[in-house]
Amino acid sequence: MSHLDEVKLLRRRARGFLARAVDSLESGDYDLASFLSEQAVQLHLKSILLAKVGDYPRSHSITLLISILKKVCGEAFIKFFEGWGTEISLMEDAYIAFRYLVREYSREEAERLINFAKEVLELGEVS
């Protein structure tokens, strides 16, 4: 599989996770909506790194992916992620909490994460 094909696959999966996150939000499953929005962002950020540098770290950390992207992509990415600190922290928490901790997410938190994911998925589109 070529890098471009892998980028497209990651993007398709990210869009699918986001769509399921919205479905989960609408059905009242805020925990799953939060987790799926994190998965969407994680895959999309990895797809941007793959498109830009040909690889991405095998890590689940949104913060790590963002820090690498800021170095690779520069000012536009630095500016984009300013003001999203709460959502980024919630996403980091969502990945771990969904799997290992007793933590419930509110509708407001799930909505914030989905809105952040929608914004992230507009970054670095590849045709």
Per-residue pLDDT, 125:
59
Task: Examine residue 126 and state whether it is found in any structural domain, yes or no.
Answer: no
Task: Examine residue 127 and state whether it is found in any structural domain, yes or no.
Answer: no
Both tokens of 126, joined, read: 């590849």
The whole-number average pLDDT for the span 52-61 is 91
Q: Residue 32's domain spans which residues?
A: 3-120
State what percent of residues in the chain have pLDDT above 70.
98
Amino acid at site 6:
E
Per-residue pLDDT, 83:
85
Task: Examine residue 35 and state whether it is found in any structural domain, yes or no.
Answer: yes
Question: If 0-12 CB within 10 Å is exposed, 13-18 middle and 19+ buried, where does residue 14 land?
Answer: buried
Task: Examine residue 55 and state whether it is found in any structural domain, yes or no.
Answer: yes
Amino acid at site 65:
L
Structural domains of the chain, count: 1
